[in-house]
Structure 1
Amino acid sequence: MTWDEMAPLLVEATWQTAQMVGWSTLFTVLLGLPLGVALVVFDRGGLLPLPAVKTVLGVVVNVGRSLPFIVLMIAIIPFTRLVVGTTIGTAAVVVPLTVGAVPFFARLVETALREVGADVVQAAQAMGAGRTTIVGKVLLPEAFPGLVAGLTVTVVALIGYSAMAGTVGGGGLGDLAVRYGYQRFETLIMIVTVVVLIVIVQLVQSLGDVVARRLSHK
C-alpha cells in the first residue's frame, strides 16, 4: 500500500478514534465525578456518612474495574444495542468505553479528594458551610490538580481501549490496524498506526502534566 492510499484511511481512523475518546471522556466525567464524590461523602467520617451505600457503590466500582475491557464490551452488547441501536461502529463503542472508564475514573476522583487536608474541610464547617458548598467550593477546587491528573490517566486508558475495540469492528486506529495491518499483512500501516497511537498518548499525557503542574503552583 502506498502512502497516497494509506493517508486517507489513517486520517479517517484517527478522526474516529478522536470521536470515540472525546465522547466517552465527556460521559465518563459526567458519571464518574459524582460517583467518586459519593464514595468520599458517604464513607465513615465523610460529610454524609452512609456506610451501607458506600459499600454498595464500592462493590459496583470494583466489579467494573475488574472486568477486562474486551470481556466487558462483549458482555454489555444487549445494553449497547438498547442505547444506540447497533453494536458496531464508532457510536456503539462509546457505550462500553464509558462503562469501562467510569469506575476507573471514580476511584481516581476518590483518591484525589482524599488528599485534601481534613483541616480545610473542618475550617469550612466551622464557618457554617453546608455539605454541597464544601464539596463544590472546597473539596473539588482543592483537589483540582489531582482530578486533572486522574482525567489524563483515564483519557490515556480510553485511547488504549478504543484501539482494542477495533478487534470487533469498532472503527478507529485499532480497526485499521486489524483490517489492514493484520488481516492483509500490511506491515507498514501497522507500524504507522502504532506510531500515531504513541504520539497521541504522549501529547495527551504531556498536556495533562502541564495543566496539573500549573494548577498545583496556583
Structure 2
Amino acid sequence: MRAIVQRVTKASVTVGDETISSIGRGLCVLLGLSVEDTQRDADYIVRKILNLRLFEDENGKAWSKSVMDGELEVLCVSQFTLQCILKGNKPDFHSAMPTESAQPFYNSILDSMRSCYKPELIKDGRFGAYMQVHIQNDGPVTVELTSPSGPSDPKQLSKQEKQQQRKEKTRSKGPSESGREKAAPRSRQDPNASSGAEGDVSSEREP
C-alpha cells in the first residue's frame, strides 16, 4: 500500500461542477491499494497518517504535532495510479487492487481512521469517479508512505506493532500523574539527572 501525504492549508475534491469534499488546514492523502495488501498494511498506513508529526507546536517548533494533536482535518482520495509499473513509457496498473475488492477495502480504511480519530474530521472523494483534486500544499511538505512488505515472523511482527502502538499512545496522552510524582523526587535529589527526553527521541520513532 502506498500513500502520498501532503500537509495542506486547504484541499478539495470536485466531480464535474460539484464539490464533494473540502478541508482547511490538515492533510491530503492520496492512497493506492495493491493486490497484495492485507489488513496489516491498512493498520500501518492508518496509524502513520494519524501520527505523522508534520505540524509545528504552539511555540512554533517544527515537526512536533500530528493531525490528531492539533485536531486537524484529513482528506483521503483513492489513487490507483500510485501502483503504476512502467513498461517502457507506458504505465501498467495490474498491481493495483481490482475495483470490486478495492472499494470495500478502501471504505474499511476510512472507517478505521474515523474510529481512531474524530469521524467528522475525516473526508474523502468519490471512489472510481473522475475527480479534480485541488491541493494547496503547505511548505511544501510531502511524505511518501509504503507499508512493510515481504515475509516476516508473525510473532515478532505482532510484538513490534504492539510496542509502536504503546509508544504512540504514551506520547499522545503525555506523562501520567504517577510518572510526574515519581520524577519529582529524583529531580530534587539529583538536579543534573536527565531523562533523555530532550536529547534522544529515537524511542518515539521507527527507523
TM-score (norm 1): 0.28
TM-score (norm 2): 0.29
Structure holding more helix per residue: 1
Structure holding more strand per residue: 2
